[in-house]
């Protein structure tokens, strides 16, 4: 059977792939969007029940689509995110083919050959919008955890009622870790939270959502080629934030007040014991220092731009409390811990990409979304072009620029 031909193929129908489609359509570039599941598949299959966006509703903006509901300062639930993305796909009439798994993309004489569960497509350009969070990152030491302890990733976790009885060790204190730790502790299961490098933020600052500050002050608009240590910026953990109707702050002090026990970074599992590093004091003060530095940047911006009158007075928050004697080990065979939740981050999966553009650590080699192979592009990766790239509100500018480049490439190639 001969392969179908289109000019461009977009892999993935999350908000990033659909934004790529919007700008391809705008430039009349014929294309298809291939999606192995349904539109917004990651939100349908890989998120826990209580999750709400940590970005406020007014930031849930996509090309040609703005939040116009009654609660701009609220936070969308997962079903609401799914309907937002479905609405985007419908209003833009994106040429999405659902239930089509891309199993290989490889170079061909005039571009790329895309092999799918439904046949082959030849195209001149491919946009990789398959997501940055396809798999949970679980450290190798998970293999040494005794079999009596149930292990879950955020992809398996749905709600605390499905956990076994007993204590829960949550490993990782980024947005996922702190949100799950709070929910599990509230369900009556005692939580121990293993804390490594983390990003502390208050939910509101000087009366405004902290993400309003990120947005307005230009911090989130810092470009990838202006960031001092781009590799580090791309690996930065997500901030300790949760979206709740009460706009509560969910930092480590809030978790300690709920009764969550803090321990250091999980360093090893040996003879059935989880061993944690010391040094919580240093880790906490580093996170406090960075938060205060960021708040200082906001204050300077508010002053310099004459916005001081529009916001509340300058605030500073109490330092993170260091527990008097944090535990350095936990016996995982004692029955104290029934489950471990690995909130240790996510990584992309490029197992289907047969073009040599993935480095030894599994990251795509690209410059602002222009991948290291002519005609190959990427969207939706951390700090792809700007600090806001990974968020819904970052896709419009990124997708416009990446599709501009793609159109230029097609024009030159004739
Ligand atoms: C837990 C969590 C919470 C988040 N909270 C927020 C938030 O509050 N605010 C915010 O702005 N952002 C948030 N994000 C970040 C970001 O918005 C999401 O990760 C979002 O899903 C990324 O969109 P995407 O289109 O890049 O990727 P995805 O939504 O992952 O879409 C990729 C699509 O590609 C498909 N796909 C993958 N491989 C193939 C293949 N081989 N063949 C065919 N199809 C394929 C997948 O099925 C999927 O539908 C969050 C992310 C996570 C993980």
261: closest CA among 150, 141, 170? 170
The residue whose C-alpha atom lies closest to atom 30 belonging to ligand 1 is: 131
321 CB neighbour count, 10 Å cutoff: 12
pLDDT tens-digit readout, 178-188? 999 999 999 99
Structure token pair of residue 312: 């509340």
- The pLDDT mean for the chain works out to 97
Q: What is the pLDDT of residues 43-100, one digit of tens each?
A: 999 999 999 999 999 999 999 999 999 999 999 999 999 999 999 999 999 999 999 9
In the predicted model, what is the mean pLDDT of residues 133-152?
Answer: 97
Contacts by 78-81, CB closer than 8 A, 24 or more apart: 78/43, 78/47, 78/49, 78/51, 78/52, 81/40, 81/43, 81/53
For a mutational test of ligand 1's pocket, the pick from 131, 215, 384, i.e. the residue with the most ligand atoms closer than 8 A to its C-beta, is 131
Q: Quick one: pLDDT at residue 2?
A: 82
Does residue 75 have its Cβ closer than 6 Å to ligand 1? Answer: no
- Provide, rounded to the nearest whole percent, the portion of the chain with pLDDT above 70: 100
**pLDDT tens for each residue of 345-359:** 999 999 999 999 999
Q: Domain 136-342: give its CATH code.
A: 3.50.50.60
CATH class of 4-134+348-413: alpha beta
Flag whether pLDDT at 170 surpasses 90: yes
Nearest Cα to 164, choosing from 47, 319, 336? 336
CA neighbor of 324 nearest in space, from 378, 262, 368, 282: 262
Q: Is 105 in the pocket of ligand 1 (CB under 6 A)?
A: no
| Residue 280 φ/ψ, nearest 5 degrees | -60, -40
Say if CB 171 and CB 178 are below 8 A apart: no
3-state helix, strand, coil in the chain (%, to 5): 30, 25, 45
pLDDT at 1: 64
- DSSP class per residue in 11-54: E--SHHHHHHHHHHHHTT--EEEEESSSTTHHHHHSS-TT-B-S
Find, among 108, 344, 96, 363, the residue nearest to 232 by Cα.
Answer: 363
Given this model, what pLDDT does residue 413 score? 82
- Answer whether 388 contacts ligand 1 (Cβ < 6 A): no
Gap from CA of 131 to ligand 1 centroid (Å) = 5
Give the pLDDT score at 414.
67
* pLDDT classification of 317: cutoffs 50, 70, 90: very high
Kindly list the domain boundaries of the chain, sorted by start residue.
Answer: 4-134+348-413, 136-342
Q: Where are the beta strands (DSSP E) in 261-406?
A: 261-263, 266-270, 273-276, 329-331, 337-342, 346-347, 366-367, 370-371, 376-378
Contact assessment for residue 87 and residue 101, using Cβ atoms and an 8 Å cutoff: no
Q: Which of 36, 179, 183, 387 to mutate to test the pocket of ligand 1 (most atoms within 8 A of CB)?
A: 36
Please work out whether the CB of residue 101 comes within 6 Å of at least one atom of ligand 1.
yes
Question: Which residue has the least CA distance to atom 6 on ligand 1?
Answer: 53
Task: Pick the atom of ligand 1 nearest to 59's CA.
Answer: 11
* Ligand 1 neighbour 369 (Cβ under 6 A): no
CB 217 within 8 Å of CB 297 = yes
């Amino acid at each position: 059977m001969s392969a179908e031909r289109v000019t461009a193929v977009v892999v993935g129908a999350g908000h990033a792939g659909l934004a790529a489609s919007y700008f391809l359509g705008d430039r009349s570039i014929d294309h298809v969007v291939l999606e192995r599941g349904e539109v917004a598949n990651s939100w349908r299959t890989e998120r826990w029940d209580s999750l709400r966006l940590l970005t406020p509703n007014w930031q849930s903006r996509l090309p040609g689509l703005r939040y116009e509901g009654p609660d701009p300062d609220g936070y969308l639930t997962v079903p609401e995110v799914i309907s937002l993305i479905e609405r985007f796909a419908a209003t833009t009439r994106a040429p999405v083919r659902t239930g089509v798994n891309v199993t290989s993309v490889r170079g061909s004489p005039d571009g790329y050959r895309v092999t799918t569960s439904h046949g082959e497509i030849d195209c001149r350009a491919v946009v990789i919008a398959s997501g940055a969070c396809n798999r949970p990152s679980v450290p190798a030491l998970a293999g040494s955890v005794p079999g009596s302890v149930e292990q879950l990733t955020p992809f398996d976790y749905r709600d605390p009622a499905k956990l076994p009885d007993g204590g829960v060790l949550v490993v990782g204190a980024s947005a996922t870790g702190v949100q799950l730790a709070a929910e599990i502790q509230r369900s009556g299961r005692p939580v121990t939270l293993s804390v490594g490098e983390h990003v502390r933020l208050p939910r509101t600052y000087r009366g405004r959502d902290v993400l309003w500050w990120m947005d307005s002050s230009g911090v989130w608009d810092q470009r990838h080629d202006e960031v001092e240590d781009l590799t580090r910026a791309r690996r930065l953990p997500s901030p300790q934030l949760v979206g709740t109707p009460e706009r509560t702050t969910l930092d480590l002090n809030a978790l300690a007040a709920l009764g969550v026990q803090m321990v250091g970074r999980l360093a090893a599992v040996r003879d059935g014991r989880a061993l944690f590093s010391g040094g919580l004091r240093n880790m906490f003060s580093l996170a406090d220092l960075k938060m205060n530095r960021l708040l200082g940047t906001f204050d300077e911006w508010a002053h310099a731009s004459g916005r001081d009158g529009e916001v509340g007075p300058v605030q500073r928050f109490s330092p993170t409390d260091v527990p008097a004697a944090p535990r350095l080990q936990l016996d995982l065979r004692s029955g104290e811990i029934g489950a471990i939740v690995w909130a240790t981050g996510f990584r992309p999966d490029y197992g289907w990409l047969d073009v040599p553009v993935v480095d030894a650590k599994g990251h795509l080699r690209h410059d602002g979304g222009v991948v290291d192979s002519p005609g190959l592009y990427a969207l939706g990766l951390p700090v792809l072009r700007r600090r806001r790239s990974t968020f819904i509100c970052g896709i419009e500018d990124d997708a416009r620029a990446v599709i501009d480049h793609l159109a230029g490439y097609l024009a030159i190639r004739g």
